[in-house]
Chain A
Amino acid sequence: DAGITQSPRHKVTETGTPVTLRCHQTENHRYMYWYRQDPGHGLRLIHYSYGVKDTDKGEVSDGYSVSRSKTEDFLLTLESATSSQTSVYFCAISERGVNLATDTQYFGPGTRLTVL
């Protein structure tokens, strides 16, 4: 298994509070991704990073920000959590890039976030 950990694994918070989720990898892969998984929607990309301090938006980026100050860590922040952000959040990594013909994404175990 790829060395990807996510913390916390479970979190319950209240509407309007800030929340930060952490993804940590030990593979030294360049690319990191944040997805959310909701019933009936599969996974949807929130943001991704292609290097330290280099990030870009995904399909559902509104209400989220990210930071990557070290190769191994990719943080996802909800500045003011809303109930619509209740979801399971997955981190993923890939070694060289976004071309999945030549690269593979590895996924972390997920963080279940509940916003009351």
Chain B
Amino acid sequence: AQSVTQPDIHITVSEGASLELRCNYSYGATPYLFWYVQSPGQGLQLLLKYFSGDTLVQGIKGFEAEFKRSQSSFNLRKPSVHWSDAAEYFCAVGARANDMRFGAGTRLTVKP
């Protein structure tokens, strides 16, 4: 069965520092992978997705993610974090919306 693990429940970084959020997945076939961001009191917003092609995916707000099949990972990165990036981030796997699996989320705090 497909599943997603986000090992870090909470991460704190300083503004301007780099960020990497980890995501590991289990999926029987070539996975479709997603990162979403949820700001306080808001719904989820798609940051980026991977379903084929280049394993380095660019998204909105300066985020990127790299698909590594050998490690079953799809980590999210940003070179320089802004205070407005404080939010909860969800990784998800699945080709179809009716069988997607979401990770439990990583909450990002940004220190001034």
Contacts and interface: CB of A to CB of B under 8 A. Distances in A.
B44 A44 contact: no
A42 B95 contact: no
A112 to B, nearest CB: 9
Contacts of B96: 98-100
A94 B46 CA distance: 12
Given A100-B94, A104-B46, A109-B42, A43 B102 contact: yes
B104 A40 contact: yes
A103 B95 CA distance: 11
B100 interface: yes
Contact of B100 (A39, A45, A103, A109): A45
Q: How large is the interface on A (under 10, 10 to 19, 20 to 34, 35 or more residues)?
A: 20 to 34
B90 A42 contact: yes
Given A98-B97, A99-B96, A105 B102 contact: no
Contact of A100 (B42, B90, B95, B102): B95
Nearest to B50: A101
A54 interface: no
Interface string B73-112: 0000000000000000010101111101111110000000
Nearest to A94: B97
Interface in A91-111: 92, 94, 98-101, 103-110
Contacts of A107: 43-45
Contact of B43 (A4, A31, A99): A4
Interface string B37-75: 000011111100101100000000000000000000000
Interface of A: 4, 31, 33, 39-45, 48, 56, 58, 90, 92, 94, 98-101, 103-110
Interface of B: 4, 32, 34, 41-46, 49, 51-52, 90, 92, 94-98, 100-105
24 contacts: A4-B43, A31-B97, A33-B97, A39-B104, A41-B102, A42-B4, A42-B90, A43-B102, A48-B98, A56-B98, A58-B98, A90-B44, A92-B43, A99-B95, A100-B95, A100-B96, A100-B97, A100-B100, A101-B52, A105-B46, A106-B43, A107-B43, A107-B45, A109-B43
